[in-house]
Homo-oligomer: A and B are copies of this chain.
Amino acid sequence: MSLKIKVGIVGAAGYTGGELLRILVHHPEVDIVFANSKSNAGNPVWQVHRDLLGDTDLCFSSNLDSSVDVLFLCLGHGDSLKFIDENEVYFKSAKFKIIDLSQDFRLLKRNTHAYTGSFVYGLPELNRDEIKNAKNVANPGCFATCIQLALLPLAKAGLLKDDVHLTATTGSTGAGQKPTDTTHFSWRANNLSVYKAFEHQHLKEINQSLVQLQPLFSNALNFVPYRGDFTRGIIANLHLKTDLTHEKAVELYEDYYAKHPFTFLSAQNPDLKQVVNTNKGFLYLEKHGDYLLILSILDNLLKGASGQAVQNMNLMFGLEEKQGLKLKGTGF
């Protein structure tokens, strides 16, 4: 008799849906009950996520099965809300938990829905206990995760007392699978460009988390996001003024992350590829004069999206946090 967690996925043909499938087909405690995609219903998932040939015979379906234990919503921003609105009966009668990968329920001021109840902000390094008990989880954004991991220890210690200057570069998979001008290979290859400087939408959830730990935090986060010419990963550099010595800062970060199995303070200056295809986040600290420099790296599709979603699932169902997430990195 199977006691595995029964999983349903909505938006299974997209990037985060595909990445979730790549993880879950090998997760020892999971049965994928359905992978919902209207436009691909009836076709094997490997016709869309073509690397999955040989890994699973699962087909996309247009059905929504209520018998699942957890439902992953892998939809675009705004579309999770709409999907729930449009499926009143399904959600109202649901006994399943929900993990939503969109930004629709991340902010406290709109983190609930009449048909589903409220969502816990699903950053385990911030809210692990709440996640364990959550019915629903709003999975954080990729930039948001990368930047929060860099700042949470300072916020918890009440040490964010200066504007934070931060630049971060993301891989192209962060832009989704619809071909656009800024994901055109001829344009993006060997290129870098800035977008949404100082105004990226993830600043809201980052601020919310920092205030959760340091209620009087009110400094600016001067965030310059870049489109990178690689497919996976985010690397962020942040600096701010602080009295902390390098030694004390290292201690602070090591303490904060001691019990978190995916986030590591590196003694070596890291490069982006060290975390690609893993659920890990690496941090690194340098002190220069009054300024503390923090580097933070993760894989935007894993720790920044689908991997973290599975981490949350593990926590919500009482599994070991790393179950199914001991992934071989690419290294190169």
Interface residues of A (CB under 8 A from B): 15, 18-19, 22-23, 26, 47, 49-55, 165, 167, 169, 171-173, 175, 177, 179-181, 183-195, 197-199, 220, 222, 224, 226, 228-233, 235, 237, 239, 261-262, 264, 266, 268-278, 280, 282, 286, 288-289, 291, 293, 295, 301, 326-332
Contact = CB atoms under 8 A, between A and B. Distances in A.
Contacts of A220: 289, 291
B332 A231 contact: yes
Ranked 6 nearest A-B pairs via Cβ: A179-B179, A193-B271, A198-B288, A165-B165, A190-B230, A167-B167
A329 B328 CA distance: 9
Contact of A177 (B184, B286, B330): B184
A175, A188, A278: residue with the most chain B Cβ atoms closer than 10 Å? A188
A242 to B, nearest CB: 13
Given A15-B186, A194-B269, 11 more contacts: A26-B327, A47-B268, A51-B278, A51-B329, A53-B264, A53-B282, A171-B332, A179-B183, A187-B273, A192-B228, A197-B293
Contact of A191 (B22, B49, B271, B282): B271
A169 B192 contact: yes
Contact of A186 (B51, B280, B328, B332): B332
B53 A237 contact: no
A264 to B, nearest CB: 5
A198 B50 CA distance: 24
19 contacts: A47-B268, A50-B271, A53-B266, A165-B222, A167-B167, A167-B224, A172-B185, A177-B184, A179-B183, A183-B184, A187-B332, A189-B231, A190-B276, A192-B230, A192-B272, A195-B269, A224-B239, A232-B332, A277-B330
A195 to B, nearest CB: 7
B262 A54 contact: yes
Contacts of A199: 288
Contacts of A229: 185, 189, 229-230
